Amino acid sequence: MLALAARVSVAEDPDMTARLPAQLPARVRMTLADGRVLEGETLTNRGDAADPYRPDEIRAKFHELAAPVWGGAHASAVEAAVAALDDAASLTTLRRALAEPPRK
């Protein structure tokens, strides 16, 4: 990780800075070992108010991160507890689900 970090540089683009706060632009440029250059640019941060994630994307990301820790069935139980919060009398079900230790 440190070797990769040593090869990274960050530089301000004044034209991009001038777009703030209406836009949150960013550009990345990678030069690969074979000399190819890959570039990408965006005007928003994915997931912010201007470019929000869809609910199905949020659930998929949650399962991607939670299933390796708790297993798929328990991740689904946590998701269900969150989905039921509007009608819940307390946070007990969610608290218990979140307190479950990671699977071995």
* Residue 104: predicted pLDDT: 74
Pick from 6, 88, 80: which is nearest to 98 by CA? 80
Number of domains in the chain: 2
Q: Report the pLDDT value the prediction gives residue 46, as an integer from 0 to 100.
A: 87
pLDDT tens for each residue of 14-28: 999 999 998 999 999
- Examine residue 104 and state whether it is found in any structural domain, yes or no: no
CA distances from 92 to 39, 40, 56, 86, 103 (A): 48, 45, 25, 13, 21
Q: What percent of the chain lies above the pLDDT cut of 70? A: 100
Which residues constitute the domain of residue 90? 55-99
7 lies in some domain: yes
Question: Does 32 share its domain with 60?
Answer: no
Predicted structure pTM score: 0.65
Mean pLDDT, rounded, for 83-103: 95
The mean pLDDT value of the chain amounts to 94
Q: What is the pLDDT of residues 43-74, one digit of tens each?
A: 998 888 888 999 999 999 999 999 999 999 99
- Looking at the fold, whether 62 and 87 belong to one and the same domain comes out as yes
